[in-house]
A and B are shown apart, each in its own frame.
Chain A
Amino acid sequence: MAFVQNFPFFSILLSLFSGPLAFVLNAKGARRVNLAVITAAGCMSGAVLAYVLGTGEPYVYTMGHFPAPWGNEIRVGVLEAFLALFFCVIMLLSMVGGSLEQKLELEESKQNLYYVMVNLLLCSLLALVYTNDLFTAYVFVEINTISACGLIMIKQTGRTMEASTRYMIMSLLGSGLLLLGICFLYDLTGHLLMSNIKEQVQLLAESGAYHIPLVVSLGLMSVGLAIKSALYPFHAWLPDAYGYSTVSSAAILSSLVSKGYIVLLIKIFYRVIGFDIVRETKVVHVLFVFGIIGMIMGSLHAIGENNIRRMIAFSSVAQIGYIYMGFGLGTAEGVVASIYHVVTHAATKSLLFVAASGITDASGDSLRYRDLTGAGYRNKLAGAAFTVGSLAMVGMPIFSGFISKLLFSQAAFGHRYKMLPTLVALAISTVLNAVYFMKTVIRIYTPVEEGQQEEMAQGRVITAREQPAKSVALVCFIFLNLLLGLNSEPLIRLIGQGLEKFG
């Protein structure tokens, strides 16, 4: 066994260990440990990705002395390694981009607890990406949920307390449904290891035995994970949680936490149940319908919003709708498009949150639209970054969002019933996206008129040098977006290749 093959295990254990370590350190030490751990995990995931691309075959890593159905194991393929690397990059940029707010908005003596949460969140994301065991996945879903709650409420204002309470209730409902689904599945197959469950499920599907509990179990797991990743009717917790928590939290929550659950759902579809059986049940149609509704309704809510952070949050609801719509198509192309959109949305949404914090810094910390007038001139870099993010979200060519919309429509093309609704919904949603994102961009580039000054919050000019960490993060985000938009071909091929071997 090559030494590189140990790296996924190292990165999981390293981030797990850094949680208690940050607990005994002070704020400064904990911040350094946090950045070092994310970087190290990212480097290791990169090395693993290079290795797996070289061999082209996924490999299984036994966690302990006992082989698969008895012990735990993790499974590393192209897609897993890429997602781990990508999650680390986004998390690092979000943490760097919000480092100023972490110092200012959080209570000094509790800052190290913030890094405990982030470290364990990273660990749970890595474990969710790599694990090949359904119960291990559940354990790390728990860690993910609790640390996300901590990330929201650590700002300790009334709104974040309320938001984290809502998040906790909805998220626990989701966890409960997921656990019930896993219990059902265990009762039917007698296994917790994903590959073994799939063998048994194939046998059950051939013989037709236990059809009803199997469908119920799949439904429970899908609905549970849909609640946790804020699919449309279950999104009530989202706007406040993203809108009022500290910037890094909002960026991480919107771009990584919900995506971890989506990765787990893909895993359940491909590796636990088998996508053919999923397609035969009606679950994909349900996801399709809810995805379409989410695409439209999320954007409509965002248009009505008068608070820039909440608007970006509602836009997430629409984007999650896109992803579920892709699953709902029930084809491999649809899932590839969804995974590409996971990547796009993660890169763009974290960019938008960090840029929005730069814009509001220049507008006297006000989130209201009226106060943002002309903010693009006061903070030039944040304004430019926000424009890039908005264009990417709307789906302009050369930015990342365009590619994912193209992939969605290509995947829908030729589908017997779903082509028309998908294309219509994509069109409507794109127009709605343009309405609220362009409205914001126009607003931040409208010069302040005479006499308007008194009504607005006191803004100030912020140069890129004044907030070096945020500027570096924003520049990296912009390049990442352009890279995804201009050079998407290898990535699409990589996702397709990874998905083939995913099951």
Chain B
Amino acid sequence: MSRKLTQEQYERTFSYRFLRWLDGARDPYLGQVEMKPQKPFSEDGQTIAQRQEDRARMRERVYDLENNILVRVFRRFYRVFSLLFCVFLVVMLLAAVSWLPTFGQADNPANNEVAARYIEDGLEETGAVNIVTGMILDYRAFDTLGESHVLFIATCTVLILLRADRKDDREQLWSNDRVYEPKNDIILQTVAKILVPPILIFGIYVILAGHLGPGGGFSGGAVIGAGLILYLNAFGFAKTERFFTQKTYRRMSFAALACYSLAKSYSFYTGANHIESVIPLGTPGAILSSGLILILNICVGIVVAGTMYTFYVMFRKGGY
């Protein structure tokens, strides 16, 4: 026995809406997504004139192309010479590479006692199942300490270059933010809602399991950073700024780098002065093992995630 629905009730069912969508009678975008049509790219006459004037002034004043024979000759010379130089460099490097030891031979100079100890004793000495992590965060930790500061200082230079601190700059940039793109895109938001939590959790997993398997701070941090950028794109700055502002980034990266420096200072100091380190290595394979490596991975992960996100925000609107 079937139940008869009134037209009104029928219109509210999923199957009715699905059929209409299938027929193309209903556009899921209309009335749901805030759409702004893209403006065609156009410049007013003033800007064009300004640009042409600038270029002409550049030619006249700075290079003085008509009268300055040296510059003209140099330009021609430069084109030829740069090509020749590149060809020379390519040929020289290829020739030099052909004289190097054959790749993959067992008796190559690179297969010496250094690599042997990393592979044979790495697990025992660092407690990390993933010997690459053991190498970069324990055997050669000083290099990695420098490397994470390279990321930090790169962010600082991007901040110098792109952060809009003057009020008028900021207002202009912030009002310009994504004029040409749809806001509150339902598809993007739904996908982000489904994808962002697994991405973040996966990133955290990659960081935490860096000493157990492939992964570590650099790769895990990049995953988390990508997740944050996706979230930002779907939901806008209003949502992300509730938990991630510039102040958060400052404190986070300071805390992470300070923790990194302190932890490594301890191990460098004890190592150089032949003091027994009190940090236990734990059982290899357990999550809480391999001494400081887990903490260092977390610090590196925080720095990398913050760096990626900050780069994106700076390039998009110059502040957050």
Contact = CB atoms under 8 A, between A and B. Distances in A.
A257 interface: no
Given A16-B149, A20-B152, A110-B163, A188 B261 contact: no
Contacts of B166: 107
How large, as a class, is the contact surface on chain A? Answer: 35 or more
A144 B229 CA distance: 30
Nearest to A74: B142
Contacts of A212: 95-96, 99
Contacts of A13: 261, 264-265, 268
Interface string B246-287: 000011011001100110110111111110010000000000
* Dominant secondary structure of chain A at its interface with chain B: helix
A396 interface: no
A146 B108 contact: no
Contacts of B152: 19-20, 23
B157 interface: yes
Nearest to B303: A20
Contacts of B19: none
A66 B271 contact: yes
Contacts of B257: 17, 19-20
A187 B161 CA distance: 38
A193 B26 CA distance: 69
B272 A62 contact: yes
Interface stretch (B109-117, B173-181, B214-222, B235-243): B109-117
Contacts of B254: 20-21, 23-24
B146 interface: yes
B101 to A, nearest CB: 6
Interface stretch (B2-10, B65-73, B133-141, B199-207): B133-141
A391 interface: no
Contacts of B145: 16
Contact of B139 (A61, A70, A154): A70
Contact of A20 (B95, B112, B253, B272): B253
A139 interface: yes
A184 B100 contact: yes
Nearest to B270: A65
Contacts of B87: none
A202 interface: no
Contact of B165 (A61, A69, A107, A127): A107
A143 B96 contact: no
A83 interface: no
Nearest to A138: B143
Interface string A431-462: 00000000000000000000000000000000
B160 interface: yes
A133 B269 CA distance: 18
A65 B271 contact: yes
A213 B271 contact: no
Interface string A98-122: 0000000001111001001100100
A140 B147 CA distance: 8
Given A140-B146, A146-B154, A146-B157, A64 B261 contact: no
Given A13-B261, A23-B250, A66 B96 contact: no
B96 A1 contact: no
Contacts of B149: 16, 19, 120, 123, 143
A76 to B, nearest CB: 12
A127 B117 CA distance: 26
Given A21-B254, A212-B99, A109 B143 contact: no
A217 B109 CA distance: 16
Interface in A56-110: 61-66, 69-72, 107-110
Interface string A176-217: 000010001011111100000000100000000010110011
A21 B262 CA distance: 13
B222 to A, nearest CB: 19
A64 B160 contact: no
Given A24-B251, A65-B271, A135-B143, A113 B159 contact: yes
Contact of B272 (A1, A108, A109): A1
A153 interface: yes
Contact of B143 (A107, A139, A149, A216): A139
A190 B139 CA distance: 16
B127 to A, nearest CB: 12
Given A23-B254, A72-B143, A139-B147, A150 B157 contact: yes
Contacts of A190: 108-112, 114-115
A136 to B, nearest CB: 5
Contact of A63 (B112, B118, B125, B271): B271
A16 B261 contact: yes
A210 B99 contact: yes
B268 A64 contact: yes
Contacts of A6: 269, 272-273
B195 interface: no
A312 B189 CA distance: 58
B273 A1 contact: yes
Nearest to A196: B114
Given A19-B152, A62-B271, A186-B110, A72 B253 contact: no
A143 B146 contact: yes
B56 interface: no
Given A16-B145, A16-B261, A70-B118, A63 B268 contact: yes
Contacts of B264: 13
Given A113-B156, A150-B160, A70 B114 contact: yes
B191 interface: no
B108 A23 contact: no
Contacts of B101: 187-188, 210
A381 B309 CA distance: 49
Interface in A262-281: none
A20 B258 contact: yes
A92 B248 CA distance: 32
B150 A146 contact: yes
Contacts of B262: 17
10 contacts: A6-B273, A19-B152, A23-B253, A63-B271, A64-B268, A120-B149, A143-B146, A190-B110, A190-B112, A212-B96
10 tightest Cβ-Cβ pairs between the two chains A and B: A139-B146, A72-B142, A65-B271, A216-B96, A190-B109, A20-B257, A190-B112, A190-B110, A109-B165, A64-B271
Given A210-B101, A213-B97, 5 more contacts: A9-B268, A16-B149, A20-B152, A23-B152, A150-B156
Interface of B: 92-93, 95-97, 99-101, 108-115, 117-118, 125, 138-143, 145-147, 149-150, 152-154, 156-157, 159-161, 163, 165-166, 250-251, 253-254, 257-258, 261-262, 264-265, 267-274, 277
